[in-house]
Amino acid sequence: MESSIIKSPKIKKNRPFKSRKKGRIRLSKIKYEEKILQIKRVTKVVKGGKLMNFRAVVIIGDNNHKVGVGVGKAENVNLAMDKAILNGKKHLINVPITFKDSLPHSINTSFGAAKIMLRPASQGTGVIAGGAVRTVLELAGIKNILAKQFGSKNLLNNAKATLLALSLLNQKIQVGKYQSIRKRNFYGKNMKKYQNV
């Protein structure tokens, strides 16, 4: 007679609970401020007649160091705005801000026919800018700055030119840190540091 060996089920030992690593915060959890820059009615001539759509331009920012411009098109105004907000959250950029709530140095950029000049200002100056540029800079968290727009008065192009200027400034700072010790010390002393960037 063969002896049958009965295997007892394996008992799992109580292991200490491992906490998951904290990754990046989801966009839905962060609260952003939204400002409607423009709502336009756009008509397109087709074979059957005319198609009417709406285009919404929304600027999104957290008043700290993140800002983005979103564009949405739809047959309904509310749907166009929702699309613009979602688009803006996808294209957020980090803005370099000094301890004086200004920029580290001046920059000139152009987007299409719109040309923008941004200059740092001393504390207490405020935001001296107009139109779309002012809205972008305020939502980015910059409080002391001089800005001037040349050429086109198109709101969307001016907003995108400002965003381009801020992103180019970011690149300039990243490159400057590796160029010389003097520049690295300057940016280390004057620039604000952020978490979850």
Q: Is 157 helix (H, G, I), strand (E, B) or coil?
A: helix
* Domain end (from 71, 93, 115): 93
CATH code assigned at 101: 3.30.230.10
pTM greater than 0.75? yes
What local confidence, expressed as pLDDT, does residue 130 receive? 87
Nearest to 167 by CA among 107, 87, 83: 107
The count of other CB atoms within 10 Å of the CB of residue 3 is 4
Residue 78: give the domain boundaries: 33-93
What's the pLDDT tens digit per position in 83-125?
999 999 998 998 888 888 888 889 999 998 999 999 999 888 8
Q: What is the mean pLDDT of each run of 10 residues along the chain (197 residues)?
A: 57 56 58 89 90 93 90 93 92 88 89 92 90 91 91 91 91 81 80 61
Residue 15 lies in a domain: no
**Do 79 and 127 fall into the same domain?**
no
Name the strand (E) or helix (H) holding 186: helix 181-190
Burial class of residue 52, CB neighbours in 10 A (0-12, 13-18, 19+): exposed
Q: Check residue 7 and give its pLDDT.
A: 60
Residue 11 lies in a domain: no
Check if the beta carbon of residue 59 is closer than 8 Å to that of residue 121: no
Residue 131 domain-assigned? yes
Give the max Cα distance, the chain.
100
Residue 127 CB neighbour total at 10 angstroms: 18
Domain boundary among 53, 68, 93: 93
- 87 neighbors 81 (Cβ within 8 angstroms): no
